């Protein structure tokens, strides 16, 4: 199911059976959507599994938010070179 975090179909089904019956809570219970792929590998399959568990063609709820950055980015590439420079813009 999720090669990043080793979540299996069994994990998803058993978490669902235990009561984690929402994409947001199933995400937190199994770590699908949360690995380095950020759902690119598991998102569609997880959605299909959720839909099947709900007995529908599509999941009732949308998948959890995709968080920025969309691809893993090295921290050093985002850091300001001038260490004294504060982040731009108003807080």
Partner 1 sequence: MTLPGVATGRPKAGYDVVVVGAGVQGLATAYELARSGVTNVAVLDRSWPGGGASGRNGEMIRSAFSSREWAQLFDLSLRRFSELSAELDFNILFSPSGYLVLSTTDEELRRQDLVAAKQAEYGVQSEILDAAEVRRLVPHANPELARGGIFQRRAGFAHHDAVVWGYLRAAARAGVSVFSGVDVHAVLTSGGRVTGVRTDGGDIAADIVVNAAGAYSDDLNLTADVHLPLVKARLEMIVTEPVKPFLRCAVATPHLLGYCHQTARGEFVGGTELPGHDETDSLNTTYHMLRDMATKWVRLFPDLGGVRILRNWAGTVSQAPDLAPVLGEAPGVSGYHLSIAWVYGFMGAPAAGRLLAESITTGRVPAVMAPFEARRLIEGRSIAESTLVVTTDGRS
Applying CB under 8 A, the residues found at the interface with partner 1 are 18-22, 24-25, 28, 34-36, 38, 67-69, 72-80, 83, 85-91
For partner 1, the closer of residues 55 and 76 by Cβ is 76
- In angstroms, give the least distance from the CB of 58 to partner 1: 18
For partner 1, the closer of residues 10 and 76 by Cβ is 76
- In angstroms, give the least distance from the CB of 55 to partner 1: 15
- In angstroms, give the least distance from the CB of 68 to partner 1: 5
* Closest to 45 in 3D by CA, of 12, 5, 6: 12
Sorted by sequence, the CB contacts under 8 Å of residue 50 that are 6+ apart come out as 12, 16, 23, 26, 59
Max distance between CA atoms of the chain, in angstroms, equals 56
* Closest to 52 in 3D by CA, of 26, 71, 28: 26
């Amino acid at each position: 199911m999720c090669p990043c975090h080793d979540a299996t179909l069994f994990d998803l089904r058993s978490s669902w059976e235990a009561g984690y019956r929402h994409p947001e809570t199933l995400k937190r219970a199994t770590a699908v959507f949360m690995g380095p792929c950020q759902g690119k590998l598991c998102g569609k399959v997880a959605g299909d599994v959720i839909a099947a568990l709900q007995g529908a063609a599509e999941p009732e709820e949308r998948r959890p938010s995709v968080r920025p950055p969309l691809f893993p980015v090295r921290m050093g590439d985002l850091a300001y070179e001038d260490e004294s420079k504060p982040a731009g813009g108003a807080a």
